[in-house]
Structure 1
């Protein structure tokens, strides 16, 4: 009897161990399946990033996807707006560029009539030798002629005049003609040549070594080190004061945007050349009459950089969800719905094959619905926009947050979709802030678009040669991007500044720079595109 009991105990122990082993194996298989799913998702994501389209534009827009239980706005537009008796307009098969007008395209070009005629010895009839009589002319075509850039040396002389009566009587008698002050002492730098160098580098993204070749082709040996000296010294001596004034004007506004992007800078003290530094951008809001864009080079991404720049500012700040902006005091943060949508775009599978795969589409559709409403409200006054947002967007937002809560319980949290849902859930307060004020924006696209020219240029010049060069680049980018935001020609505005700044004693009185601000009426007249 004792032996039988012992055998049963051993058998139960074996069964228990086998059960535990099976449970552990099932858990391992489930974990491997989860890991495999995450790895496949990551592989699809990276493949799409490498070979797919870079635009975040999606086909999931209003009316293209109907979400269960929602009966608001344009989600049911296909059903409610369909009319059996509607006659479709006939569309021409001939394709033209949308919005293109030849007259508008050439409106600002100087014109010249070029007449082809016969020389005197050709004005003889080859048959009977009689003199030909003029019978009129006809129009054939219009062409665009390119006039290559040219360089010329301008030798500056200054005339002197004297009063001989004052000379005889011992009074000061010399008078000299007024001249423009030089941009740089003992330099051939001219407002037009320096403005063109900066325009090429910071607007057209042409590195200095290529500009060096261009100058050589025009007949002048001008090294890239000389061009670099022009940019660094003139930025520090003249343009820095304008950017400082921009800064003061920016902090006086009530709605700002901010973003940052990496930059590699050589010769930073105490840091290897492989260290990652950052270019920050701070911009005014979209509804201001004084658009400003300011770039700042900093060695790191710490939030103290934003806090120092925004010291004394009180208002709304539009950013992404980067925690560093949390150290900025006395502000209300508006987070970006474009970033929220980007998470759902990144969660999209290669192909929609299951109900689970449509969840990212639904998230995108919610976001696009908000942007669709925003587009319709953009021309309203601040208060009207705020009221209409509460009326039209609150139902969308309430449905969205309910949808987020439901799906957080069923999706794999480590997946791209799970991360998207967790992101919007964690950032809910910041994503809702834009509803408080009609002048707030639903996204931080303004800052992202402002910093994009820098990122495009970075692909050409790769890195900054020194901290001094990076700071100079930040100053010039601030000038040219602020000019573009005010619809000015950046080259004309730079040349205008270089012609006027050397003659202004702004070190004693900064208010003397006010007439040079890009929204000034005279500047608008002289430099407008």
Structure 2
């Protein structure tokens, strides 16, 4: 995973019991996923006791790629160490979408049309090689981003400070450089939606198990879910995969353990 030049990164809060306190505090589950353009289908979950960036830096070690993130401060500490942030265009679009749904905002409708043109280009380049994707983006998407940027700047003085529309515009402008970096890298996605799908099982799980008992419980749960969700991404029957892995693992040579990983495992014929 850490050999990839681009990784999605996202997180979701998980309640964890405080030792000896009889109450919970907020811990976090982080997910790291290669992009949809990558042939590797895998997800790595990391359970951490708090949000600060040292957990992210420790987990990623010396990785110097490009994380696709959602403006979380916990990731920013790594940017000065040679990591280049890629923004999430979907988060910028979503703020205007919410305005349009709640207030039928004309400005939001115009913004959605401009964002929609960018996503139209992405649909056209989803299946082409990275070099070709980059070239098409430069030819078709770059002029669209320039139009969107001008439009955002023009609209900002026309809306009241502190309004929902102003906040949506300010978010896009503040994150602009990160949002458009995907134009120069054919391996980079336009948004972070790919990893958000892998966060969803944990969001659903919270309704059932409510909290983690401890950090010692959360860490192995994250490792187990990494295997399960990666197996799903590779289209495996979960029962068949886990049964075979648990059967083989006690006698598997250390040098061959990697063969049991979901993206390398093959069912017995």
TM norm structure 2: 0.94
Residue number in structure 2 paired with 1:259: 10
CA RMSD of aligned residues (A): 1.7
| Deviation at residue 376 of structure 1 after TM alignment | 1.0
Runs of 4+ in 1 over 6 A off after TM superposition: none
Q: Which runs of 5+ in 2 are unaligned?
A: none
CA distance in 1, matches of 2:16, 2:116: 38
Contact 2:53–2:75, Cα closer than 8 Å, also in 1: yes
CA distance in 1, matches of 2:83, 2:195: 17
Given candidates 435, 445, 448, the residue that maps to 2:196 is 448
Given candidates 294, 299, 323, the residue that maps to 2:44 is 294
1:319-354 Cα shifts (integer Å, max 9, x gaps)? 1111221111322211101111111122226453xx
1:259-293 Cα shifts (integer Å, max 9, x gaps)? 01000111x34766231111111112222222220
Residue number in structure 1 paired with 2:146: 398
1:84-117 Cα shifts (integer Å, max 9, x gaps)? xxxxxxxxxxxxxxxxxxxxxxxxxxxxxxxxxx
| Deviation at residue 385 of structure 1 after TM alignment | 0.3
CA distance in 2, matches of 1:485, 1:526: 19
- 2:233 maps to 1:482: no
> Which has the higher relative contact order, 1 or 2, with Cα contacts under 8 A spaced 6 or more apart?
2
SS in 1 for 2:8: strand
Residue number in structure 1 paired with 2:181: 433
Residue number in structure 2 paired with 1:276: 26
Residue number in structure 2 paired with 1:6: none
Given candidates 251, 260, 268, the residue that maps to 1:516 is 260
| Deviation at residue 525 of structure 1 after TM alignment | 3.9
1:131-170 paired onto structure 2 within 5 Å = none
- 2:68 maps to 1:307: no
CA distance in 1, matches of 2:12, 2:103: 32
- 2:74 maps to 1:346: no
1:174-222 Cα shifts (integer Å, max 9, x gaps)? xxxxxxxxxxxxxxxxxxxxxxxxxxxxxxxxxxxxxxxxxxxxxxxxx
| Deviation at residue 413 of structure 1 after TM alignment | 2.3
Given candidates 155, 166, 171, the residue that maps to 1:418 is 166
- Whose radius of gyration is greater, 1 or 2? 1
SS in 1 for 2:143: helix
1:414-448 Cα shifts (integer Å, max 9, x gaps)? 11111010001000110011111101000101111
Residue number in structure 1 paired with 2:132: 384
SS in 2 for 1:440: coil
SS in 2 for 1:452: helix
Moved more, 437-446 or 456-465: 456-465
| Deviation at residue 482 of structure 1 after TM alignment | 0.9
Contact 2:240–2:267, Cα closer than 8 Å, also in 1: no
1:10-29 Cα shifts (integer Å, max 9, x gaps)? xxxxxxxxxxxxxxxxxxxx
Q: How many residues align?
A: 267
Contact 1:434–1:440, Cα closer than 8 Å, also in 2: yes
- 2:218 maps to 1:470: yes
Given candidates 69, 82, 92, the residue that maps to 1:330 is 82
SS in 1 for 2:27: strand
SS in 2 for 1:465: coil
CA distance in 2, matches of 1:403, 1:351: 20
CA distance in 1, matches of 2:98, 2:161: 15
CA distance in 2, matches of 1:348, 1:290: 37
CA distance in 1, matches of 2:22, 2:117: 47
| Deviation at residue 465 of structure 1 after TM alignment | 2.3
Question: Given the superposition, is the C-alpha separation of residues 526 and 409 from structure 1 closer, same or farther in structure 2, using an over 3 Å criterion?
Answer: farther
SS in 2 for 1:332: coil
